[in-house]
Amino acid sequence: MIIDFKHTQSAHCECGVTANLINHAVKESDPQLSEALAFGIGQGIFFGYLPFIKVNELPLTTFRCPVGKIFKSVTRSLGIDVKWQKFSSVPKAMDALDMELDKGHPVGCRTGGYWLPYFPPALRFHFNMHNIVVIGKQGDNYIISDPVFPSVVECPAKDLALARFAKGALAPKGSMYRITRVPGKIDLKPAILSGIKGAAKSMVKTPVPFLGTRGIRFLGKCVEKWPEKFGQEKTILLLGQLIRMQEEIGTGGGGFRFMYSAFLQQAAGILDDPRLTPMAEQMTASGDLWRRFAVKAARHCKGRATQDDSVHAMRQVLNACADIETRTFKELLSIAG
């Protein structure tokens, strides 16, 4: 049995899942939610450099909000009801999933990407933040709408069970969610405004120096010190990790900055507010700078760094990003506030 579900490929798994699930649930007369809108309303954009939290012995850098927040914020601000479930045992979790599918409900699941056999081998790392929508079952295989992939994929039940109960940091514990009720009318305008406001606050009004735009400057400061502090070999590993966090599949390029730009562009249309258009352009500029930073970092990793790619030059690029983003989010705060 396969539910008639419109699979739209997107850059980021959680935004894609959010948009696809909501578009499936709302009436046809309601406005369709794009991935970028889900990202913006869900206050997805963020920055944090947390050297005291280690992933594979390397510091954590994040370009977006914690996992689950996008889906929660979007459904909450649009007034959509959601049923969340977590499980203690594998059979119970799989039975509950089968029951929902039998009723014809597409179900969102959080999984560990390492166990999903349809992933490219080169991307199978342990990370437990991968969201998918299960839309059917055929024999012993589940039919899955994984928004990161161009089309619908299949996954054996045994592997899906492993993925839903992946262990380690942020273990999903079989968590699954589905939309139970949508309001009579979906109004995007207030949701967009509150999304912009929330994101801008977390970018420019953080009380700690390692989050938001201050965090970008802090990262620049640290990058400049890496070679003398850790030596060449470790610096390369640190830079490599940074590139992967920034450009890992799901960001849409430039550490989510381009996606946010796309959101601002769509928001300008929906709210009919031309002030947002230059904001979108500024975010594009910031994303381009992040890409330039990644190119410089990659040259270090390849051992082909020139004078232009010195850690000092990289810090300047990051400072430029921080400047642009501080200005943009302050203006956004005054527009939405």
Contact residues: other proteins, CB under 8 A:
9-11, 35-36, 56, 114, 117-126, 148-150, 167-168, 171, 236-237, 239-241, 243-244, 247-250, 252-254, 258-259, 261-262, 265, 280-281, 284, 287-288, 291, 294-295, 297-298, 301-302
- What minimum distance in Å lies between the beta carbon of 331 and other proteins? 18
Q: How far apart are CB 298 and other proteins at their closest, in Å?
A: 3
The minimum distance between CB 221 and other proteins, in angstroms, equals 22
- Residues ≥6 apart with Cβ < 8 Å to 336: 193, 194, 196, 197, 200
Cα 134 from Cα 137, distance rounded (Å): 8
The residue among 243 and 270 lying less far from other proteins, judged by its C-beta, is 243
**Least distance to other proteins from the beta carbon of 337, Å?**
25
155 strand-pairing partners? 142
Integer CA distances (angstroms), 197 to 67, 204, 265, 335, in order: 19, 11, 16, 9
Query: Smallest distance, Å, CB 105 to other proteins?
Result: 26
**CB of 253 vs other proteins, minimal distance in Å:** 5
Closest approach of other proteins to the CB of residue 270, in Å: 14
- State which residue, 71 or 165, has the beta carbon closest to other proteins: 165
How far is the C-alpha of 94 from the C-alpha of 80, rounded, in Å? Answer: 25
Q: How far is the CB of 117 from other proteins (least distance, A)?
A: 8
Q: Which is nearer to other proteins, 16 or 108 (CB)?
A: 16
CA angle 96, 98, 100 (to 5 degrees): 70
User: In the complex with other proteins, which residue's Cβ is closer, 10 or 328?
Assistant: 10
For helices 212-230 and 188-204, angle between their N-to-C axes, nearest 10 degrees: 40
174 vs 252, which CB is nearer to other proteins?
252
